[in-house]
Every structure is written in structure tokens, then in C-alpha cells.
Amino acid sequence: MTATQCSDGPVAVTGASGYIGSHVVAAMLRRGYTVHACVTDDRAADKTAHLLAMGSAGGAGKLRIFKADLFVPGSYDEAFADCCAILHVGAPLGYAGRYNPRQVYDGAVAGTGYLLSSAKKAGTVKRFVYTSSFAAIGHRAPSGYVYTEADWATDGRENDPNWSEENIDKSGGVAYAMAKVATEKQVNRAAEEDGRFDAVSVCPCVVLGPLLSRTQEGVGSWQYALARMLEGKPCPRGWQGLWNIVDVRDVAEAHALIAESDTVQPSSRFQLTATDRSGELDVWQLQKHLQTLFPTIDVGGAPDEMQAFLEQSGGKVHDGPRAYCTKAREELGLATHAIEDTLRETGQTMIHLGLLDPAWR
């Protein structure tokens, strides 16, 4: 397949108002594309104002907002018409209980099926870039194991009772991971069968970096957890192992580079993870970084449960997940942000947006 370029027509971005989706919109606008930004509610100013600001910033690209819903068949038909590429970032997430585990799974798998039907109907799509997740890569592994794009979350799960269809309704984590695996394969299969477009997946891990809207807080998300630490509270998630951090701007740039690449292989995948070991932080390293970046704030650290956890785990947190975005850097030419920049921008934008009450000293 040939790479996409501005003269080929518009590109569509699903989940355009979201954390990653907004940055993908920005990356494509910078390149001069007409971007069809797909949102579930085009009348919700809190979700569209930052997109409209991008569109009116005077750059080469142009923005059009379309209302579309993953749960509604055919709702992407209009948005995808004449598009040369689809960047499918949108997915139902379980943050703050907005969707239950079954909705997370069905919305991803069935919803992507509806979306693929719209892409086929358009007949102009050359590349379909799917935002999967490191959840589709990560599996049980010993401390220090280094994951690559060859790993799948299904590896070694043959006798794992937790990895089952029955658990989709019980566990949001299982539902999300199983959905990402199923949808990656669904998208690849659809592209191969259709023959008019190819598909490539992006698998981000702990995504941090600047927020563009208050709606991107994502209660329970990684950025939300970091914000709680800047409020002087204990780290609420990920403290049993490492935060494997990638900048949201790098994730977005990878989407754009894939869309325009003339060397990327069909059905390939790119894990968007730490650049190197500097981006793999345990809770104490994370606290130290944040304390240095925000010296006037009392930054929270490990929770009270840590001591009991260490007694049961031999005195160490899990040395993982270890994973690096080497493939994206080498094959796409992706230039990544320094971890200090990523952490600083996350905290500063959340403070600016009023999403946290800093524990000022």
C-alpha cells in the first residue's frame, strides 16, 4: 500500500475529544490534513472547544467535527466519506464507572466492526491505524522480562482461569485486555480480506503528558493517579511494579508517521512504551522526579499497603513491565520526549486546568 498524503483527501480520527485522540488531531492538522474529528456529542462544548481552537489556529490543516457513536451501526458513514486514512483512537473506557466491563468489551469489538463497515463503504481508505494498548501485549512474566511487539496478552494463558469469556462481565481489566487483542486481530483480518486498505496497530502503555481539556482527567487513569500524588496523597495505582511511561505527544506522532509511512508492513504493530530505562519508574523514583520538578509541592509516595506488599514479595516491587519503543524509533523515525518533560507537562496542565489541588509547602 502507498502512504497517505494531504492530497489524497481527509483523514478521520475517532475518539477525537479524548486524551490521545486530541493529540492525534493536532498532529494531523500540523501536517496540513483536513481532519474529520469524530465525537459522541458534537454539542458538548467541554469536549469540542479545544478541537475548535486547533481548527481555527491558522495552520495549514482544516477541522470538521462529526457526531458518531461506536454503539450505533452506520454512524461513521458520513465522517469516513472520501477519507484516505482512519485513525481509530476511540474506545469505551471503564473510568469512573462510565461503562461496565461488558460494555467495554462489546463497544470495542462490535463497535469496531461497525466502524470497519463504514470504512469499507467509503471505498477510499488506504490505511487504518488502530489504537490498541500494551494490555494486548503484556502477559505474566518474571521480573525483568522485556516485552516486544511479538508478545501477546494471550501468551501462556492456556490454563489461566482469569483469562476467560466468563470473566468479561466480572473484571474491567480482563474485558479491556481481551477486547484489545480481539480487535487488533479483527482489524487486521478485515484489512486483509478487503484488500483496499492495510491496517497497523499502536500499543501504548502508561500514557502521560499535556492534557488539552478538563474532560481528559479520566478518573482512575494514569494522569489521574499522578495528580493525586501532587495533592500529597499516596500513589493509587501501579505501585506494585513500574510505571512504563510514554508521552501522549509521542503516541500521537507515531499515529501520523504510520499513516504517512511507505515502508510500514501491513498488520504490523508498534508498542509505544518507554524510550529507555529512564522512563521505567517505581513509585519512589516517580515521587523523586515529581518532587524535583515541583519543589514547592509535597508529593505523595507509596501507599500504606506497601510495607505488607514488600514483606510478601521478598522486599521488592515487580521489575516490570519492561518494554521500549525501539521499533517505532527505528522504523518510523519517532523522536521521543524526555521523561522530565512528560511528567512536568502532565502536572502543569492538570494544575492549569484546575484538576488537582496541589499540596503546596
Q: 97 or 65: which carries more pLDDT confidence?
A: 65
What sign for the dihedral angle of Cα 245, 251, 253, 254?
positive
Residue 94 has what pLDDT? 67
Residue 93 has what pLDDT? 77
Per-residue pLDDT tens digits for 224-245: 999 999 999 999 999 999 999 9
Q: Which residue has the cell 486547533?
A: 54
Q: Decide: helix, strand or coil at residue 270.
A: strand
Q: What is the DSSP string of 231-263?
A: TTPPP-SSTTS-EEEEEHHHHHHHHHHHHH-SS
Q: How far apart are alpha carbons 257 and 176 in whole angstroms? A: 26
Q: pLDDT confidence of 180, banded at 50, 70, 90? A: very high
Q: How far apart are alpha carbons 146 and 224 in whole angstroms? A: 27
- Give the chain's end-to-end CA distance (angstroms, integer): 56
Determine what percent of the chain is predicted with pLDDT higher than 70: 99
Q: pLDDT confidence of 170, banded at 50, 70, 90? A: confident
Q: ∠28-31-35 over CA atoms, to 5°?
A: 35
C-alpha cell at 200: 497497523
Per-residue pLDDT tens digits for 1-24: 678 999 999 999 999 999 999 999
Determine what percent of the chain is predicted with pLDDT higher than 90: 88
Average pLDDT over residues 295-310: 98
Q: pLDDT confidence of 28, banded at 50, 70, 90? A: very high
CATH topology of domain 7-207+244-275+322-336: Rossmann fold (3.40.50)
Q: Decide: helix, strand or coil at residue 121.
A: helix
Per-residue pLDDT tens digits for 184-213: 999 999 999 999 999 999 999 999 999 999
Q: Which of 1-10, 127-136, 314-323 has the lowest mean pLDDT?
A: 1-10
Residue 160 has what pLDDT? 87
Cβ neighbors of 121 (< 8 A, separation 6 or more) are 77, 80
Contact present, 275 and 329 (Cβ < 8 Å): yes
List residues bridging with 38 in a β-sheet. 66
Q: Decide: helix, strand or coil at residue 30.
A: helix
Q: How far apart are alpha carbons 230 and 8 in whole angstroms? A: 45
C-alpha cell at 139: 502477559
Query: According to the per-residue pLDDT averaged within each range, which of 53-57, 92-96, 267-271 is highest?
Result: 267-271
Domain boundaries, the chain: 7-207+244-275+322-336
CA nearest 216: which of 342, 351, 355? 355
- Number of Cβ atoms within 10 Å of the Cβ of 178: 26
